[in-house]
Chains A and B, each alone.
Chain A
Amino acid sequence: MTTITPPNLHQHEIILDVKDLRVAYGKVEALHKVSLAIRRGEIVTVIGPNGAGKTTLLSALMGLLPAEGEIVYMGHAQGREREVESLVRHGMTLVPEKRELFAEMSVEDNLLLGAFDRYRSGHRDQMETMDEVFELFPRLEERRAQLAGTLSGGERQMLAMGRALMAKPKLLMLDEPSLGLAPLIIKEIFRIIGELKKTGVAILLVEQNARAALQIADYGYVLETGEISLAGPSQELAADPRVIEAYLGLGHKH
């Protein structure tokens, strides 16, 4: 898959830079001073137990939730009122935890709508992009005429990812792609995520499945009760006993 590189965007350039992000529901902060950075062509994972605020983080980045703090995307500081549509136009896409597919539409139409904004801004390369997506997910090509609502769990996740790729993203954010999937399918999904990396797209992978995520990621953050408690290259994190503690509450800290 080809991704056009803007002239000012070189390898290892920071695509997303977040500093001191705070999100509050009412009086309770769901995220407290979260900072992270993602470079071009890099997979960054945010792992953490249930309820740590991972989905909140992605929703805030995507402009679905209001947030305080500094978000610099592709060199542009984002204001408080970020609009989903304009972020999509600038190449940010989110594959949400609930997939949010168009259930009563065919696989093909779902994919086509992934390129809606590109179509609207004058691009007419949807068919080629779709072929590239089919190359990555041959299963989707087999099921191209089937309604999205009739797909299996794994196929749904593939369709959600394929639909996001139709927008030719610069930054792909995946919210728990392994959620509710059988181990074999998870393996397949993660293999594809690894392949996507080669195309140069930056990937922010939010996962509960820590081991799988750390295996393919370059860098990882551990999010615990709304705060980053650990960060580091993923191999280091994978070996850190504190990661297990965070998940199972073995260490009686505080």
Chain B
Amino acid sequence: MSHRSRSPARLLVALLLVCLAFDLIVLGWGETPSAIARRLFSGTWGTPYGIGQVLFKATSIAIAAVAARIALRAGLFNIGVDGSIAVAAIAVGAVGAKLPPDVSPLVAWPLLAIVGFVAGGLWAMPAAVLRARFGAHEVISGIMLNKIASSFVGYLLVRGLAEEASVHTRALPRGALLTRLDHLGAMFHGLRGSAVNVALLVAAVVVLAWSFVARRSIFGRELAAVGASPSVAEASGLPIARHIILALGLSGAVAGLTALNDVMGYKGYAEEGLSAGVGFTGLAAALLAGESTIGLFAAALLFATLSQGGLSINARIPMDVVDVIVALLILLVSSGEGLSRALLGPPAPAAKGPTSPR
């Protein structure tokens, strides 16, 4: 019923059904499922380049998933992750372009990370404050802010941020670019050409750090109390308005760190629509993973694989099939309890205990 528990059996059922749906769609298109599946696999995990691309995509998805998870902990659904990502990217691009050409990575990397973090967090503030002070639903204001963000980014680019005769910011100086993994040594040479970069490590740290904070810190546990029951949390004396603002703000701020991967690690500049949709994929990965840390890594890799694989099957079958698969997977997992009960019989007794009616 919540995003908290995911039994392996349930996930397995969902995955099997998704495979079945994939087969049916591919057959309906007049292709052979096994051939398409082989193509999907060889385009991703089949070559070092493919692996590199999957890891590159998984980096942003994992960071966005942590952003979503921070809000989910407090019972909030931060659909505005995508807007925070867009605004953070343009902020990092704009500030990065202003850095001197010979800037040192020791200055540029942390500075731009802070810029992305702050920009993403600030963009989440309107939704956060509206929710905490006036009870406005964060999904509605989040959707609106996403629209505003994409228009805002376009406006800024047109109004002078973009380089002459282009639709992107000026290129970042060399020192502001994140090192690609294939430059790190002989063992990574196979990844050549793929965009995977050291932001991958940042993503890993962000995932692990939040898992620790959520589980072990007083703040993380109090967020869980707010998420479990805001009225109980309030009556217990928790500062719920403050916690809601912090949760959504931190969620947006962490989302802003995706600019490290997409702007500093990949493009070297910011443009409209760069990393669009990553926020939603991140939300999906967070929902799929529940509260599991390993699950989050796995979900990020899965969605990255599907996204990259979509490109390699596009010649034979529209890559939209991947979107259908992802959507089905989310539907199946979120409606999973009733579904798996229908298929597998009643669930093993959970720690939830007697089903007291509410």
B partners with A: no
**B positions within 8 Å CB-CB of A:** none
